[in-house]
Amino acid sequence: MDDSTDRHLRNADVVESAGDTPFGGGGPTEIFSRHRRGQQDSIEIRPYDFRRPERISKDQMRALQTLHDAFARNFGASLSGFLRTIIEVNVDQAEQMTYSEFLGSLANPTCFSLIAGEPLEGQFCLEISPLIIYPIIDRLMGGNTRDLFVPQRPMTMIEMRLVRRILERGMNALVEAWASIGQFDFQLGEMESNPQLVQIVPPNEVVVVIGFEVRMGERTGTMKLCLPYNVIEPVIENLSAQNWFVTGRRDEKAARRAVIEQGLSEAPLQLEVVLAETSITFDELQSLRVGDLITTTKSSKEPVVVSVGGNPKFDGTFGNFRGNRAVRISNRQDKPASGASSNPEAQASTPPAQGAEKPAGTSSSGFLDAAG
């Protein structure tokens, strides 16, 4: 090829006839050059790094970030109830990188865990910074985390078992967040302090890293969830922004309801049993002495009122069970019983039902010793 032909090929946009080129063949051949006539300013040339190919679209990345926003809220709420303190978990960033770059960004030692998610083939990995995991362990053991020194050492076996209890709650939140895409069973796998020893994918494999900020009081740390592309590839099309957001809005209310119900199920409630009530004058109250008897008009065979949180809920029978005073629930009250009160200052007591052991300080006529 001479110099004139080479210059012609570099500057031409379209060669009209195949005879003008050494490629042969029938019909015109399009030849694209870096410099087009009259369009030098309108051409946009963007660099492409073949070592870090972007295999996930921006819409799918935004969908992944929004999906894990729900995970962060649920995980934070679960940890707050478990540790009895406010834990804030927020999504900080979502980006694509190679697995080697992800490992290079982690501290050593750290808290590095593997996650299996059936029916997906492969594993995720979750890393939690020592700056926040050790304060959480200290809080779990009863400390206040104020003067805590974060050690630069691998976690002990006891610390790993404590962290596993915490992360298992995160698996439940992860299942709820991914329920909008499909049914997955996320299970916590092996734990390691040195992330360089764990190779779940080749070093040049593309992964999606979701970064979280975890805050507990004055302590702040990071948490990173690594999703290899070859693991999430079978469900990546389900991350379409239009389809996912419609499903996400529908399931978000149910997920929040489940978190609230789980928190309320562990809330302690005060249970009170109103045995009897009576009224006395102020002079009689002043004259009460140890050994005096207070009479009531309520028979020992009548049902007692069981109140929950100050509200009458059940009727029951007072008696004895395995050496302890007990109340057997007989029926549920649809409306508050008239004359029943949850004020402990106005409560008195009656003797047990027929056939039950009588409490100390009572008599068969329905009297209660004032000393009791």
pLDDT digits (tens, 9 = 90+) for 31-90: 455 555 555 556 666 666 666 556 777 888 888 888 888 888 888 888 888 888 888 899
* Domain span(s) for CATH 3.40.1550.10 in the chain: 58-265
Q: Which residues pair with 325 in a beta bridge?
A: 320
Reply yes or no on whether the pLDDT at 362 is more than 70.
no
Per CATH, the homologous superfamily of domain 271-369 is: SpoA-like (2.30.330.10)
- Residues contacting residue 55 through CB under 8 Å, at least 6 positions apart: 96, 206, 229
**pLDDT band at residue 212, thresholds of 50, 70 and 90?**
very high
Distance CA 115, CA 136 (A): 21
**Fold that domain 58-265 belongs to in CATH:** Chemotaxis protein chec (3.40.1550)
Higher pLDDT, 22 or 233: 233
* 263-277 average pLDDT score: 81
Beta-sheet strands, E only, within the chain: 14-15, 29-30, 87-98, 111-118, 123-128, 185-192, 206-216, 219-228, 271-274, 276-277, 293-295, 304-308, 311-321, 324-332, 347-348, 367-369
* 179-195 average pLDDT score: 86
What is the DSSP secondary structure assignment for residue 253, as one 8-state letter? H
pLDDT number for residue 224: 92
Rounded to a whole number, what is the distance in angstroms from the first to the last CA of the chain? Answer: 116
pLDDT number for residue 241: 46
pLDDT number for residue 306: 87
SS3 130: helix
Q: How far is CA 92 from CA 68, 200, 213, in A?
A: 10, 24, 6
* Domain span(s) for CATH 2.30.330.10 in the chain: 271-369
How high does pLDDT run on average in the chain?
75
* 18-42 average pLDDT score: 51
**pLDDT band at residue 185, thresholds of 50, 70 and 90?**
confident
Helices 130-140 and 157-178: angle between axes, nearest 10 degrees: 100
User: pLDDT tens for residues 157-180?
Assistant: 888 888 888 888 888 888 888 887
User: pLDDT tens for residues 277-299?
Assistant: 888 888 888 888 898 888 888 88
Reply yes or no on whether the pLDDT at 361 is more than 70.
no
pLDDT number for residue 37: 54
pLDDT number for residue 226: 92
Q: Which residue carries 């009160």 as its tokens? A: 341
Residue among 111, 202, 99, 124 nearest 163 (CA): 111
Percentage of residues in the chain with pLDDT exceeding 90? 4
Reply yes or no on whether the pLDDT at 229 is more than 50.
yes
Reply yes or no on whether the pLDDT at 4 is more than 70.
no
Percentage of residues in the chain with pLDDT exceeding 70? 71
Backbone phi, then psi, for 82, in 5-degree steps? -75, -40
Higher pLDDT, 301 or 78: 78
Higher pLDDT, 342 or 66: 66
Q: Which residues pair with 277 in a beta bridge?
A: 347
Burial class (CB in 10 A: 0-12, 13-18, 19+), 369: middle
